[in-house]
Structure 1
């Protein structure tokens, strides 16, 4: 039996998106424990993989969002047990904190489609090419966790992606497909915070770049999902 993947979300509009497509045939469940002080989370021994999605909160704001501490503990245990972990945006920051890195609030805002420099070979980023144009939507940043490998960078955010053992963190959004982008641009706490010119620019850039980005992103996310399948075969 294939162990399921747990997807932790922090906002109803920031779901797994194309990650669910990459997980084709692998069971997964979605939970939100952000504001639960003592959530009942599964043992990592029962997980085929762990995904931690994005959101608007600060990754270290446990006073207002106590579930973040439980997420961090589960992520650390998953990496220790060699369970495939994927952290996206806020999820990458939770992953980095779980591995001992520091968070830098309001380090630099990046919103919209822009390139990242891929600086190391990794199966998740390889399908994107050396300087893909991806969707950014953040203003916090993290240091590279001790022992992790830097995978991608921009001048504004030196740590845009990293690998630490079985875990991959992505500050940018490979999970976004056109319908999700439309949703984000219409949500008050995302697109509603942008001025009309920026919002229209993101929408137009999405129409230009997503047709090429989506298949490459599906391939890269599929490489991560393959690690989940490999874990299942090894335990079968």
Structure 2
């Protein structure tokens, strides 16, 4: 992988790592958590092949975590510089705010496996199919950023995915593997608001849907990896 620029992966909690995204990138990663640092030392964009922003339990505009503002600035600059960007769940919301969108707190809870309607073609998202069943784990939502293309939607969350130039935002979690799902379901912070039967339903949903979703997600993230490698 000599000569390939690394991808910066911004995480917010230890259990929400890049999962299948890492395999799709198939190159060097720099994993950082900068929540508590108002002025983090982040790599220069011209040294990066891409930027990935993962999920987390905090609000995307939570002022208790000044590093979120630094993430928003980085993402805005990355889109301006046409650096490949992928935001997942909280990461999508941070991306949307970076592009001038509005955040709607507690808009509607979606937790568990359910379908999303794909409404536009996209090189990366398209690998999942027209109506994939994916893992949701959120209650906040965002408006579609100005100039962005809506890619996927559900009745509860009108903006489930969007494309804005070099950036793709996904409100759901196609990066999750079987082992990641087991980790999440064993993490008290993830399941604190769930009833035992909800946890059982999510575990059963994983057994039903991940066998088809994982290979599709691998293709999607491989397409993102191609965009990263195209930067050299």
TM more than 0.5: yes
For 1:223, the equivalent position in structure 2 comes to 223
For 1:209, the equivalent position in structure 2 comes to 209
Cα shift readout 1:94-133 (whole Å, capped 9, x = no counterpart)? 0000000000000000000000000000011212111110
For 1:58, the equivalent position in structure 2 comes to 59
| Aligned counterparts of 2:215 and 2:167: Cα–Cα separation in 1 | 22
Secondary structure of 1:60's counterpart equals coil
Cα shift readout 1:180-222 (whole Å, capped 9, x = no counterpart)? 0000001011023311000000000100100000000010111
Q: TM-score, normalised by structure 2?
A: 0.98
- Match of residue 8, structure 2, among 6, 13, 26: 6
Displacement of 1:146 in angstroms is 0.4
Displacement of 1:137 in angstroms is 0.2
Q: Is there any run of 5+ residues in structure 2 with no aligned partner, and where?
A: none
Displacement of 1:23 in angstroms is 1.3
Secondary structure of 2:120's counterpart equals coil
The question of whether the paired residues in 2 share the 8 Å contact of 1:102 and 1:143 is answered with yes
Q: TM-score, normalised by structure 1?
A: 0.96
| Aligned counterparts of 1:9 and 1:137: Cα–Cα separation in 2 | 16
For 2:68, the equivalent position in structure 1 comes to 68
Secondary structure of 1:183's counterpart equals helix
Count matched residues. 230
Displacement of 1:43 in angstroms is 1.2
The question of whether the paired residues in 2 share the 8 Å contact of 1:185 and 1:192 is answered with no
The question of whether the paired residues in 2 share the 8 Å contact of 1:118 and 1:129 is answered with yes
The question of whether the paired residues in 2 share the 8 Å contact of 1:186 and 1:192 is answered with no
| Aligned counterparts of 1:99 and 1:192: Cα–Cα separation in 2 | 32
Q: Establish whether residue 42 from structure 1 lines up as the match of residue 43 from structure 2.
A: yes
Secondary structure of 1:72's counterpart equals helix
Secondary structure of 2:101's counterpart equals coil
Runs of 4+ in 1 over 6 A off after TM superposition: none
| Aligned counterparts of 2:37 and 2:198: Cα–Cα separation in 1 | 35
Residues 60-209 of structure 1: pairs in structure 2 closer than 5 A: 60-61=61-62, 63-209=63-209
| Aligned counterparts of 2:36 and 2:55: Cα–Cα separation in 1 | 15
